[in-house]
Amino acid sequence: MFMSFPEEDLTCPVCCDIFTDPVLLSCSHSFCRTCLKNCWDTGLRECPVCRKKTSKSNPPSNLALRNVCETLLMVKRQSLALEDELSCIVHGEKLKLFCLVDKQPICVVCLSSRSHKSHECSPVEEALLDCKAELALSVESLQEKLHNLKGIQKTSADMIKYIKNQAQETQKRIKSQFEQLHQLLDQEESTRLQAVKKEEEKKIAEMKDKIKELSAEVLCVADTISFIQDRLKEEDMGLLKNFRSTQDRAKSTGLGSDNMSGLLIDVTEHIYNLKHRVLEKLFDQVGYTPVTLDPNTAHPCLILSDDLTSFHYTKQPTCCPDNPERFHMSAEVVGMTTLGSGSHHWVVETGSNQDWLLGVVSSSVPRDTDILARPENGFWTLCLRDGEFRAMTSPPIVLTVSRTPEQIKVQVDYNKGMVSFVDHADDTLIYSFTDTFTETLLPYFYSQSSHPLKIIPEKVLVTMLRQ
């Protein structure tokens, strides 16, 4: 607004500078309040320009003029600041170039200086466009990063809920399995207590029979004693005449069996190594599974059993977090047992399942990409699909089998680099891989069938180490 008239119209006639706190006289002339006061202190109270006298000792402020002057001064200060900003702080020249090495504006003198002499430069106009474009890309990249971070933040919140559900479900399964163990122990305890009770009743019955026999014998002996005592009271000749019969009766009254062995309860039979024998019986009933499935790696379309020893495929995916360990592309899952040196084996019951892959994979196989199950990709597997058995080599080999096995034994000899597949029913070899393993392996399973694949438990043998 103030640029519509010359700057001299905003200058005080006394100090010849921009008005400071201007006052307005009745003659329409304006002066700085301080300048006017100084003039009046030295002479008459009159206008320094037209000499017209005024009666007011304190003329009013010219507010409109003061606002314009303050705005002009502010613009001047901004202009000077901008000019300083556009000038080199070292040489005072305008910043017309942009150093592409140091990423800063420079003047033409800087270009010839030692600091920038060998640096590539461009005009600030071109550099401005390039910098804006680069920053726009940075903003785009950061916006994408922000979007990803928000996604991770949401996923993390969802994972907290999933972890809580996992903990509750795991605790529920633990309680269920301990309840089964408690039930087995209670049954075993009841059986053994009943055995003791049964033996107690048997021994007591035997002792009662023994006491009954002894009571009869006691009466018989007492009668014989009484009879002999009566004979002793007879006359001498009568005693002699009846002596033989009396003696025969005394001899015929013999003592019963006094063998008391085996009448007590066989405590040792019930107590010896009781915990060990109960443990052996528990092992016979619960078994041991050499491979347990890892639910954190299972594809969302796989449903795992509560004891993590079997699974089947469903078209309706479950709600689970998108964690890095999980297979995302196909219906795969691995066991939690890491296979390193030594020999390992497990048996998988395939049953009616006609679409599966079994074997081992390298621990580092990617979980978020779709790759071929080949040895060069870290897969050593046997496949059943479309009624054909295939060894998943490069390319796959179609295998001929005399019958379709329902249980497949997977054998791994890590040190020899061998992975073998055997028909568990008759130990017939189906196929064997030979390779060199460079990292640990994991049991591998794949299926797109609603019929389950199940890892068969093994019988546990308890042996004693004698030193």
229 near 271, Cβ under 8 Å? no
Rg (CA), the chain: 55
Residue reference for tokens 């006691």: 218
pLDDT at 466: 65
Comparison of pLDDT for 173 and 286, the residue scoring more: 173
Contacts of 315 (CB under 8 A, 6+ apart): 301
Amino acid letter, residue 151:
G
pLDDT at 221: 87
Where does the pLDDT of residue 256 fall: very low under 50, low under 70, confident under 90, or very high at 90 and above?
low
pLDDT at 410: 97
Comparison of pLDDT for 430 and 253, the residue scoring more: 430
pLDDT at 118: 80
For residues 176 and 308, what is the distance between their CA atoms, to the nearest angstrom?
A: 14
pLDDT at 81: 67
Contacts of 182 (CB under 8 A, 6+ apart): none
pLDDT at 411: 97
Q: Is it the case that residue 267 has pLDDT exceeding 60? A: yes
Q: What is the pLDDT of residues 274-304, one digit of tens each?
A: 988 888 888 777 778 999 999 999 999 999 9
390 near 399, Cβ under 8 Å? yes
Q: Is it the case that residue 382 has pLDDT exceeding 60? A: yes
pLDDT at 2: 43
Where does the pLDDT of residue 83 fall: very low under 50, low under 70, confident under 90, or very high at 90 and above?
low
What is the average pLDDT score of the chain?
Answer: 88
pLDDT at 98: 87
Q: Is it the case that residue 112 has pLDDT exceeding 80? A: no
Q: Is it the case that residue 213 has pLDDT exceeding 90? A: no
Question: For the ranges 94-103, 239-248, 265-274, 457-466, which has the lowest average pLDDT?
Answer: 457-466
pLDDT at 464: 65
For residues 434 and 423, what is the distance between their CA atoms, to the nearest angstrom?
A: 19
pLDDT at 355: 95
Comparison of pLDDT for 433 and 462, the residue scoring more: 433
Q: CA 137: distance to chain centroid?
A: 36
Q: Is it the case that residue 84 has pLDDT exceeding 60? A: no
Please state, as a whole number, how many other Cβ atoms lie within 10 Å of the Cβ of residue 200: 11
Please state, as a whole number, how many other Cβ atoms lie within 10 Å of the Cβ of residue 365: 19
Q: Which of 179, 244, 254 is nearest to 224 (CA)?
A: 254
Comparison of pLDDT for 409 and 112, the residue scoring more: 409
Contacts of 293 (CB under 8 A, 6+ apart): 304, 308, 309, 311, 333, 334, 335, 336, 445, 455
pLDDT at 238: 81
Where does the pLDDT of residue 246 fall: very low under 50, low under 70, confident under 90, or very high at 90 and above?
confident
For residues 263 and 398, what is the distance between their CA atoms, to the nearest angstrom?
A: 71
Q: Is it the case that residue 37 has pLDDT exceeding 50? A: yes
Quick one: average pLDDT of 380-391? 94
For residues 202 and 270, what is the distance between their CA atoms, to the nearest angstrom?
A: 15
With helix as H, strand as E and coil as C, how does the chain read?
CHHHCCHHHHECCCCCCECCCEEECCCCCEEEHHHHHHHHHCCCCECCCCCCECCCCCCCECHHHHHHHHHHHHHHHHHHHHHHHCECCCCCCECCEEECCCCEEECHHHHHCCCCCCCCEEEHHHHHHHHHHHHHHHHHHHHHHHHHHHHHHHHHHHHHHHHHHHHHHHHHHHHHHHHHHHHHHHHHHHHHHHHHHHHHHHHHHHHHHHHHHHHHHHHHHHHHHHHHHHHHCCCHHHHHHCHHHHHHHHHHCCCCCCCCCCCCCCHHHHHCCHHHHHHHHHHHHHCECCCCECHHHCCCCEEECCCCCEEEECCCCCCCCCCCCCCCCCCEEEECCCECCCEEEEEEECCCCCCEEEEEEECCCCCCCCCCCCHHHCEEEEEEECCEEEECCCCCEEECCCCCCCEEEEEEECCCCEEEEEECCCCEEEEEEECCCCCCEEEEEEECCCCCEEECCECCCCCCCCC
pLDDT at 1: 43
Quick one: average pLDDT of 338-359? 94
pLDDT at 423: 95
Residue reference for tokens 């949401």: 154
Q: What is the pLDDT of residues 127-171, one digit of tens each?
A: 888 889 989 999 999 999 999 999 888 888 888 998 999 899 999
pLDDT at 467: 61
How far the first Cα of the chain sits from its last, in Å, is 109
Q: CA 277: distance to chain centroid?
A: 39
Bond into 395 cis (ω within 30): yes
Q: What is the pLDDT of residues 407-429, one digit of tens each?
A: 999 999 999 999 999 999 999 99
Report the sign of the C-alpha dihedral through residues 65, 71, 72, 74, in that order.
positive
pLDDT at 255: 62
Where does the pLDDT of residue 397 fall: very low under 50, low under 70, confident under 90, or very high at 90 and above?
very high
Comparison of pLDDT for 250 and 460, the residue scoring more: 250
pTM: 0.63
Q: Which of 405, 447, 173, 408 is nearest to 312 (CA)?
A: 447
Distances (CA, A) of 67 to 19, 32, 63, 261, 406: 10, 13, 6, 130, 98
453 near 356, Cβ under 8 Å? yes
Compute the C-alpha angle 64/67/69, nearest 5°. Answer: 110
Q: Which of 302, 310, 355, 305 is nearest to 455 (CA)?
A: 310
